[in-house]
Structure 1
Amino acid sequence: MWLYDLPMSVGLPLFVALVVGASCAVLLLLRRWVFRVAPQGEEWDRVLSYAVGAYGVFYGVTLALIAAASYGNFTEVDEVVLEESSSLASLYRTADLLPDPQGRALQEQIVQYTRNVIDVDWPMQARLQIPAETDADITAMQQAIAGVQPTTPAEILYVQQSLDRFQILIENRRERIALTRLALPGVLWIVLGVGALLNAVLIALIEVRNLRVHLLMSSMLALFVALLLYAIAGFDHAYAGPIAVTPEYFEDLLEGLFRE
């Protein structure tokens, strides 16, 4: 989607301008027809007010629920990324207790894996592609732990702790990758698009003699709808677009714990 390729400073104003412009265009197209066919008296306004009121409730609730769901997906991905980085930090600390050279090798593999997550996995996930290059790093970590030959009860305990934390890392990594293509179903985008069009049509059907007032009213409602739609689109693919989960948790590890 072209919207994900633009920074927010460009994409948001452009998207708002498109939605508001389309709403005003619908108004101008229907305005003459409304004045021609609308009956004199209060019946037209009364019936239309019922329709606009009922539609506003339905579409408003739909927008709110979908926005909440998309933001929920976004926060879920962010929590998964945080959990994976935390499991990496925990495994790195535990590796410091293992005998060398396996302990040092494990720490080096953890650092390498973290860099590859940032430099390789994230760009691929931003393109909605499933990354697999870091599988080799995971295998190397596993081999480093398996290569430890504990000679004391303490080392046996440290190896077991390393295996437990490594298993948690595997689960967190798998969940992060599995959420790469998490998105709203396409039918919901059809609902949102048709709903935005119907909103513009119903506003255009209101009989307002002053064209400037009518355009202002239509533009204000379209502006709010556009902002919500942009936010939903931004949250929809958590790794892509201007509103995206970033690898900052992994970057913090490289700049902090792994430099100690």
Structure 2
Amino acid sequence: MGHLYDIFVGTIFIAGTVALSLAVYLTARWFTRKAPPDRHPEMAGAMVMRIGALHGLILALVFAQEMAGYQRLETHTATEASAIADVYNDAARYDPVALMPLQQTMVSYTREIIESEWPSLGRDEGLSAEAWLQWERAYAMALDLEPANARQTSLRDHMIAQLHAIATARNLRDADGSGSVFVLFWFAALSGVVLIALGYYSHRPEPHNLVLMSLFSAYTGVILFLIYGFSNPYAAPAALSPAPMERLYEQISAPSQ
């Protein structure tokens, strides 16, 4: 169902952009039907070229920004999963019996991220309060440790540092995962589609002209769809899976079952 939904949304973007371009073009032709516009193709072509360059630049910059945020989120998720694994394993090295509650807390924290926090971020509801509570419990346990030797001192310090890294990664996930495409971008993007279509009013609505305009509009629709998808990487159509967390959870939850 997820892939079908992605295809459906992508089709809407592509078909909508093509329909908008052709509708604007044909409307402009209808308004200029009494005065032959075919005398001005050179001027229209120059205008379309300049608007098209600016339009392409805007799309490229926003696409690059959203793609970079998507990739940063992947990095933050992998970093957080690595830090969770370090805390879990260091707790076993410190004292596998006394720190079993700390290990179980990290298991519960990971499960909360996968089952609740990820969908919550997809709905723009922010980070899970329960996940923060689990983190606070683990942090308090690490702070209350009283090392008996240098080995335990090193392990305690490393666990505290990794818990700090988890908190930082959580905040960065929230920042990079929130929708960052402004409404003004969509206004600029659609304005570019409209103005480019208007600029071709001086060309006759011959089949090959309509096909070429449709191809350009369809590609623009693809880019707009990708920008829309990357703008919220926690939700469809370009939802990022918490794969590092899921793999880690499979590993650390098995011993506790």
Structure 1 length-normalised TM: 0.89
Residue among 187, 190, 195 paired with 2:192: 195
CA separation of 1:19/1:108 partners in 2, compared to 1, >3 Å: closer, same or farther?
A: same
5+ residue gaps, structure 1, are none
Structure-2 residue corresponding to 1:47 = 43
Q: Deviation at 1:259?
A: 3.3
Task: Give the corresponding residue for 1:142.
Answer: 139
The one-character-per-residue Cα deviations of 1:159-178 (angstroms, maximum 9, x if unpaired) are: 12211211211211222223
Cα distance in 1 for residues equivalent to 2:104 and 2:67? 36
Q: Give the 3-state SS of the residue equivalent to 1:241 in structure 2.
A: coil
Q: Between the two proteins, what is the percent identity of the paired residues?
A: 22
Task: Give the superposition deviation at 1:141.
Answer: 0.7
Distance 1:56 1:137, change over 3 A: same
Task: Give the count of matched residue pairs.
Answer: 253
Instruction: Decide whether the 8 Å contact of 1:67 with 1:231 is kept in 2.
Output: yes
Shift of 1:113: 0.4
Q: 1:100 to 1:209 in 2, by over 3 A?
A: closer
Q: Structure 1 residues 239 and 38 mapped into 2: Cα distance closer, same or farther (>3 Å)?
A: same
Alignment gaps of 5+ in structure 2: none
Q: Is the 8 A contact 1:129 1:180 kept in 2?
A: no
Determine which of 86, 92, 106 is the counterpart of 2:88.
92
- Give, in whole Å, the separation in 2 of the partners of 1:137 and 1:125: 18
TM-score where L is the length of structure 2:
0.89
Structure 2 CA distance for aligned equivalents of residues 100 and 39 of structure 1: 83
Distance 2:36 2:211 in 1: 21
Name the residue aligned to 1:231: 226
Aligned pair 1:214/2:199, yes or no?
no
For residues 39 and 138 of structure 1, do their structure 2 counterparts lie closer, same or farther at Cα, with a shift above 3 Å needed? closer
Partner secondary structure for residue 47 of structure 2: helix
Correspondence list, 1:86-165, <5 A: 86-130=82-126, 131-165=128-162
Secondary structure of the 2:130 match is: coil
How far apart in 2 are the matches of 1:209 and 1:170? 59
Per-residue displacement from partner, 1:144-165 (whole Å, max 9, x unpaired)?
Answer: 2234332222222221221121
Distance in 2, Cα, partners of 1:67 & 1:171 = 26
Distance 1:55 1:144, change over 3 A: same
State how far apart, in whole Å, the 2-side matches of 1:37 and 1:69 are: 44
Q: Calculate the aligned-residue CA RMSD, in Å.
A: 2.2
1:174 to 168, 171, 176: 171
